[in-house]
Structure 1
Amino acid sequence: MIKHQHQAILSHYPSSSICNTMTIDEPEPDPTFDPISEWLADPLSYIPSFLDEPYSLNDFYEESWWSPSESINQEMHINNNNSLTSFDTSLIVTHTSATPLEPIIASHLPPLDSPRKRKGNDSDYNFEASRKNQNPRIYDTDDGEAIVVERVTTRKTAGHKKATHKSTGNNGNNREGRWAEQLLNPCAAAITAGNLNRVQHLFYVLQELSSLNGDANHRLAARGLQALTHYLSTPCSTSLISASAGITTFTSTNPKFFKNSLINFNDISPWFRIPNSIANSSILQILLKHDSSRNLHILDIGVSHGVQWPTLLEELTHRPGGPPPLVRLTVITPTMENDQQRHNPFVVGPGGYNFTVQLLAFAKEININLQINRLENYPLQNLDSQLINSSPDEILVICAQFRLHNLKHQNPDERTELLRILKSLEPKGLVLSENNMDCSCNSCSDFATGFGRRVEYLWKFLDSTSVAYKGRESERRRMMEGEAAKALTSMGEMNERKEKWCKRMRTVGFAWEMFGANVIDRARALLKKYDNNWEMRVDAQDGCVDLWWKGEPVSFCSLWKIDPTT
């Protein structure tokens, strides 16, 4: 019955496809080589343009070595178009509801008689027009449902300033201003309830307000509308291939563009930069407790795609006593079984991307004896000391960052089993970084509740990227946002709050270890380079370092050692 209803809804709407058009706002200048970038075959380095000095974020744009050697136009081979296919509005809502429908009360929605698609950047509002006609408007539809919409004044912000770090994001933590969620969540609830008329009506409103070139609300509406359309078209499907068709993501780009874009994102957003920095500092903290003559072995189960490690290698050269005799890096790449991992956000890079050769060359330049072993298509559950070739004589540190939540947590409990396996490797330390949010899988919630959690996650990302990219359109931004939008449809997004993760760690025999003062100080100094809506909190109860955006949790980092009592 539900499937037929889904088909009935979609019969009124062409498939909502997003193709991208490359628009480059500014030509990139010719590069100036920096010595540290010699590890690359091109002038972009994985070393961020700032390390831990408290400079302004704007300072990074003044570094001439930042510019890539080729224009992005030459790197990209994607035919893009930034508008959703228009729905046929002549077919919208031809049924009358058997039961009265509640009106949609959304006090901060933009008016439906405004330009149909916002084509400009986040900051391209008509501020004078937005001050006029503040009175509420009521829009009626054929099913007797009413939409109450108020115009609101949008205040232009000044963007980044060296002294103030003022945010360019909109609405802050004011949920009333987050109108896209006020449309997407009721739409998901209507789908769950099988309310055909309400779904059709909300689809119409979302289509009118969706744009991939607007502010965070318009972008979220566009991404959410596509996700809901995908869900309705394949309600029982476990294949998510069509969900990302035509969207710029990691796998749809070429390796050079992907690498440069990822470096850029880490420089302008702390989303992954802070967890990576904390992990690197934690490794240095662990090394201080052991004999400096022992080899270091890092087990990389993460999503940094190599960007994290040049900074650590550079820091090892400044370590008292010099770097370890040998640094081993074992990278566990995601498996492609059932093609599921490809649809998990930030996990899989483009075909042909491999940072090994360049990282080895960089290590040689700074006199680090580095060995890299990539384990391709090995399920995490199959890890053992023989597979990673670990030795009791080395200092083994495991970095598990934003990958373990893709494992099932019940029937079977794959993540707890993996944690037991990691403990059996006898690491000297384990860094766990994860999203700090409730699970959205079918076992933990119904579709409406789970979808609402996914939407909230994507809102934080889109709102923060609006600030990070200063409201400017670029293919780099489009790629990062397209990758994050996978969270709306991926079956592998099974997050948990940090309290549950900490409980799991203790259950399998780990004990949390407090981050050293140097780790915290370095992370705080680094965070000052970003927008002041970012916040770092240290939880004395569980030892975690939490990253927050506009007063809401985003992720957490934690450090663990084997509990000697187990």
Structure 2
Amino acid sequence: MLMEEDMEEKIHILQESLDLQAKEKSFYEVIGKKYPPSPQPESDRLSRCLESPDYYPYVNPHNSATSLNFVRDGLSGSPVSPLHIRDMYSESQSVWNFKKGVKEASKFLPSEYNLSVNVDVNGLLGQDPEGASNRGAERSPSEFRGKKNGHAVERDLEEERRSKLPATYLESYLPIEEFDNLLLHSMGEGEKKFTAYRADLKNAMSKGVLQTEQIKGSNGRRGSGKKHKRKKEVIDLRTLLISCAQAVAADDPRSAGELLKQIRQHSSPFGDGNQRMAHYFADGLEARLAGTGSQIHKALVNKRTTTEEYLRAHYTFIASSPFRKISNFATNKTIITKAQKATRIHIIDFGIHYGFQWPTFIQRIAGREGGPPKLRITGIDFPQPGFRPAERIEDTGRRLAHYAKAFNVPFEYKAIAQKWETIKVEDLKIDEDEFVAVTCLYRTKNLLDETVMAENSARTTVLNLIRKINPAIFFHGIVNGAYSAPFFVTRFREVLFHFSALFDMLETNVPREKPERVLIERDIFGKDALNVIACEGWERVERPETYKQWQVRNMRAGFSQVPFDREVMSMSRHKVKTFYHKDFVIDEESQWLLLGWKGRIIYAMSCWKPV
């Protein structure tokens, strides 16, 4: 209504201007002079401006200065006041922004509203949505008139639209063959491709090391190169980071800013492992200093990564490091062994995420002697922000159903997207004749502990829930970290040592130019580190504990530990020693399977059953 009233007011102003023009014309006739002509009738020009906010020669929100000059020059000699022109420009821009907002909002509405989404995400859509063929007709050539670079702006608008699409448009049209090639990597043709990819990574790293040694050798023969090398050696990024964290903790923004400036000069998301880690840690320190940690972390969480991108990063991660590969193997092998006589298997997966672990499990049980059992998977995860909190794990269920159908395995899937501590046993629909296995791999670190919830913490509540489920086996994988301390500097030191090992591991095993490595470092390691460094209280969701602390928790909750089968341990050791870098660590202590890098234990896994 307000907009309509404003528009009526502008039309009234236009009418007054036209009346004034008519009076001036009659005055010129009285004095015997000719009224000066206009290059274009103002009434027509201004009416077009008022009636069509999308008339880009007048209103160009991307280049408002150019547009305003164009209007002003085009109306030189007009009796209409410049103030009126500015008002009309503002009004037209407001209407244009309003229409643009409506158009953007329409992309989030369901398809039954007959709204088209004119975008093809990386060519992944099988066909253009309705109306896509008219994409070119929707914009007139005059839309980009007055812009310095029409193609660049169009590309920016396309990227903006793409980022605002619901994840359905990014993930639902991926060809299933891509998943087959990247997920079924434990048997048959998939295993051959996986082995070849792992060999390619090793060859690429060997060539990179050789080139680096040659460059170092050539620099050593030049005086300037040798001098430059000495300069680089004195930069200790870890010391700079710790000093900066101490300045932030002491509320000394001046010193912290100077140290941050030094860190920025010697860090980069595309440099070596230390430089990349320093870059993301500097982001965290800067966010803590500015008090924007929670906002930045929420933005990173809300950022949508396509399933294909995440899957390729996962594939690179398991090819270059044994952490997830070994934990998936130990879990799947143990379930298959213990449930070999069961006709119904129910897996309750806390933190299922994309469910990359389960296609190979379905593939293996399909060949079981006497036929495969009926498989039920209950996929549990934290709700996603946005309109569809269960979207990701529902997509996971559809993919798993595809594999179950392909391998003739009877299959049923249930998705639960809510806070884990609010789930009840009744929600899981457990049958008496099922072999129930509960898995929770590396996600209990995201449950709040007693420092936030003094009584009945989320960790205790979830462990009590699992005990009530009374599973035949409970697999618990944890991130072995000690950076949950309430004191910032102590926590910073621990998280620095932890992620130093992870960035060094990638530096040693994955080429720097691999986009999958950048995604892992930025969207997983960098995001987690920022949360630990820049967030506090409820907003700090990265709270790992050591495997010894979790052992006490699990026993207190009413579980007794079950050792891994000797065959599983033997095969796991063989895989690590044979296929991965010599600096990876695999060990066993207190019936925990320990995995790490260069002597630092990063992940730990164990089996439990209710007492």
Report TM bin, short chain. Answer: 0.5 to 0.7
What does residue range 139-538 of structure 1 map to in structure 2 within 5 Å?
152=233, 179-234=236-291, 240-243=294-297, 251-288=303-340, 292-302=341-351, 305-324=354-373, 326-336=374-384, 354-376=395-417, 378-410=418-450, 411-412=454-455, 413-440=457-484, 444-469=485-510, 471-482=511-522, 483-490=524-531, 491-527=540-576, 528-538=578-588
Shift of 1:351: 6.2
Residue 223 of structure 1: how far off its partner (Å)? 0.7
CA–CA distance in 2 between the matches of 1:458 and 1:387?
A: 37
Deviations 1:497-539 (A, max 9, x none): 1011000110011000000012112322332312221111011
Deviation at 1:421, TM superposition (A): 1.1
Question: Cα 1:314–1:392, aligned 2, differ >3 Å: closer, same or farther?
Answer: same
Task: Mark the CA change 1:397 to 1:256 in structure 2 (over 3 Å): closer, same or farther.
Answer: same
In structure 2, the residue matched to 1:560 is: 608
Asked if structure 1 preserves the Cα contact closer than 8 Å seen for 2:345 and 2:376, the reply is yes
- Structure 2, unmatched stretches of 5+, are 1-158, 160-173, 201-207, 532-539
Structure 1 stretch displaced more, 277-286 or 211-220: 277-286
* Structure 1 residues 179 and 390: CA distance shift in structure 2, 3 A: farther
Please give the alpha-carbon distance, in whole angstroms, between the structure 1 residues aligned to 2:356 and 2:318. 9
Give the conservation status (yes or no) of the 8 Å contact 1:122–1:214.
Answer: no
In the other structure, the counterpart of 1:86 is: none
SS of aligned partner of 2:586: strand
2:412 partner SS? strand
Q: Partner of 2:318: helix, strand, or coil?
A: helix
Distance in 2 separating the partners of 1:475 and 1:51: 27
- Give the alignment of 1:11-90 within 5 angstroms: 40=177, 44-48=181-185, 59-60=196-197
Deviations for 1:159-216, whole angstroms, at most 9, x for unmatched residues? xxxxxxxxxxxxxxxxxx9933222122101211234443233212201101111111
Residues 477 and 606, structure 2, Cα contact 8 Å, conserved in 1: yes
Distance 1:62 1:498 in 2: 33
TM-score, normalised via structure 2 length: 0.61
Question: 1:451 deviation in Å?
Answer: 1.8
1:280-334 C-alpha deviation (Å, 9 max, x unpaired): 122123324xxx143110001135521100111122234444432x110000021
- Equivalent residue number for residue 69 of structure 1: none
Query: Structure 1's 266 and 178: CA in aligned 2 closer, same or farther, altered over 3 A?
Result: farther
Which stretch has the larger CA shift, 510-519 or 183-192?
183-192
User: Aligned in 2, Cα 1:434/1:387: closer, same or farther, shift over 3 Å?
Assistant: same
Question: RCO (CA 8 Å, sep 6+): is it higher in 1 or 2?
Answer: 1
Q: Is this contact kept in 2: 1:252–1:350, CA < 8 A? A: no
For the 8 Å contact 2:181–2:190, the answer to whether it is kept is no
The AA in structure 1 aligned to 2:318 is N
Q: Is the 8 Å Cα contact of residues 342 and 435 (structure 2) preserved in structure 1? A: no
Greater Cα offset, 38-47 or 406-415: 38-47
CA apart distance, 1:275: 1.7
What residue is the counterpart of 1:85 in the other structure? none
AA of the residue aligned to 2:183: Y
Q: For residue 481 of structure 1, report the CA deviation from its aligned partner.
A: 0.9
Letter of the aligned partner of 2:329 in structure 1?
Answer: S
Percentage of pairs with the same residue: 21
**CA displacement, residues 242-264 of structure 1 (integer Å, 9 cap, x when unaligned):** 2476x7x8943223333333233
CA pair 351-423 structure 1, distance change in 2 beyond 3 A: closer
Corresponding residue number in structure 1 for 2:217: 128
**Counterparts of 1:535 and 1:185, CA distance in 2:** 27
Report if the CA contact (8 A) 1:397-1:430 is conserved.
yes
Query: Partner amino acid for 2:184?
Result: I
1:357 is paired with a residue of what secondary structure? helix
Q: Which amino acid aligns with 1:204?
A: K
Q: Which amino acid aligns with 1:520?
A: M
Give the secondary-structure state (helix, strand or coil) at the position aligned to 2:346: strand
1:52, 1:533 → 2: CA distance?
29
**Which consecutive unaligned segments of at least 5 residues does structure 1 have?**
1-21, 23-36, 64-120, 139-148, 153-176, 343-347
Q: Partner amino acid for 2:279?
A: A
- Confirm or deny: 8 A CA contact 1:209 1:218 kept in the other structure: yes
Q: Which amino acid in structure 1 is aligned with residue 351 of structure 2?
A: G
**TM-superposed deviation, 1:407:** 1.1
Q: Distance in 2 between matches of 1:385 and 1:549?
A: 38
| Structure 1 position 494, deviation (Å) | 0.7
Q: CA 1:197–1:135 in 2, change beyond 3 Å: closer, same or farther?
A: farther
Q: CA 1:42–1:518 in structure 2 vs 1: closer, same or farther (change >3 Å)?
A: closer
| 1:105-126 Cα distance to aligned partner (Å, 9 max, x none) | xxxxxxxxxxxxxxxx898754
Name the CA shift for 1:264/1:303 in 2 (closer, same or farther; >3 Å).
farther
Cα contact 1:296–1:395 (8 A) shared by 2: yes
Counterpart AA for 1:361: H
Partner of 1:92: none
Once residues 381 and 487 of structure 1 are traced to their aligned partners in structure 2, the CA distance between those partners, rounded to angstroms, is: 22
More helix by share: 2
Distance 2:406 2:190 in 1: 23
Letter paired with 2:429? N
Instruction: Note the C-alpha offset of 1:353.
Output: 7.8
Report the CA distance shift for 1:271/1:240 in structure 2 as closer, same or farther (over 3 A). Answer: farther
Tell me: CA distance 1:303–1:529, structure 2 relative to 1, closer, same or farther (3 Å).
farther
